[in-house]
Structure formats: C-alpha cells, structure tokens
Amino acid sequence: MRYIPIHLLVTGGHKAMSIYAALAAELLFGEHDRLWTIHTPKDLMQLGLFHAPAGTQGRVQIIQLPVRPSRLLPGVLAGGDTQHLLERSRTSPRQMFLGALTEAEGKVAETLHQHPYASNEELGRILGKSPKTIENQLRMIYGKLFTYFDLNVEDKRKRQALLDVLAGRV
C-alpha cells in the first residue's frame, strides 16, 4: 500500500488540547508527516470573527511546527511496524467491520444488502440455509457491527443499522 503523509492542523480551542495533539504527533508521526498551526495577530483575534476580513488574509500565517519522526513508537511495537499501524488507523470502521466477517457472514450481509426487505426465511431460501442459521449468523454480524461502531440501537433497529452501514450511510 502507498504511504499517504499525515498533515495535522492544530489551532483554536483550548491550548492544553493543542499541546496534547502535538505530543501525540511526536509519538506517531513518520518522517513525511507534518504538524501545522495558524498565527493570527492579536488585533485580528480581538475582532471575534471566524474568518480574516477582506484584505487582512496576508497577515494570518500558517506555520509548520517542528516534529521529530517518532523514535519511541518503533521500539514499542513488536515488529517496529509503524507503517502497519498508520495504515490501520486510516482504515474506516466500515472497512474493518466488513473485513471481520467470515465468508458465510459476508454472504448473508451481501444478500441482505441486495434484498433489504427480505425476511430471515427469504434470505435462507436465497442462500440455501435455514432461517435459524440466518438468525444465528445475523446475531454474530450484529455483535461485530457494534464492536466497530459506537451505536446504541434497540433490538428492533439492529437490522436497519446494519443496512445503513452496508449502504455506506454510516
């Protein structure tokens, strides 16, 4: 997989949070990653606007902050594989969820995605499985779904939550 550099802009909010973000960058960044901040003169800040007024944009500076590539992280990771960690952190919860499904669960999920109004009985007929098998596989799928997504869903809404994830709406 191709490495895509991280560019983190730390600005606004509480100063402590900006410091925490910069410290995290020190621990996780590779040699091609960059940390940035914005410097706005006090007189512009005192205007209380969310943007620089016309004609003053040149006074606002984007500044690259010095960050050493992590020397700590490779020693912490078993194989020193920071690239793998960064790639995994860039993987969406949807991709991780779909990757965690077994082949059989993936077929049930794909069939449900193609037939969103099908009952367990209908899904079973399509896949040549019993409704009880479909129910058990959906139970496993729901368990994995809630591992990768912070969803607080009633039992009667689990199927719709799964359909939303499969359709890319979540």
The total number of structural domains in the chain stands at 2
Mean pLDDT of 10-23: 73
Name the domain boundary from 78, 112, 137: 78
Helix (H) or strand (E) holding 43: helix 42-45
In a domain, 85, yes or no: no
pLDDT for residue 13: 64
Name the domain boundary from 26, 45, 78: 78
- Beta strands, E only, the chain: 7-9, 34-39, 61-65
pLDDT(82) > 60: no
The boundaries of the domain holding residue 117 are 93-166
- pLDDT confidence of 69, banded at 50, 70, 90? low
pLDDT(29) > 90: no
pTM strictly above 0.75: no
Q: What is the CATH number of the domain that holds 120?
A: 1.10.10
- Nearest C-alpha neighbor of 21 from the set 7, 6, 8, 4: 8
pLDDT for residue 78: 47
Name the domain boundary from 55, 78, 101: 78
CA distance 104 to 128: 12
Mean pLDDT of 110-115: 96
Going across the sheet that includes 34-39, the strands are 7-9, 34-39, 61-65
CA distance 82 to 49: 40
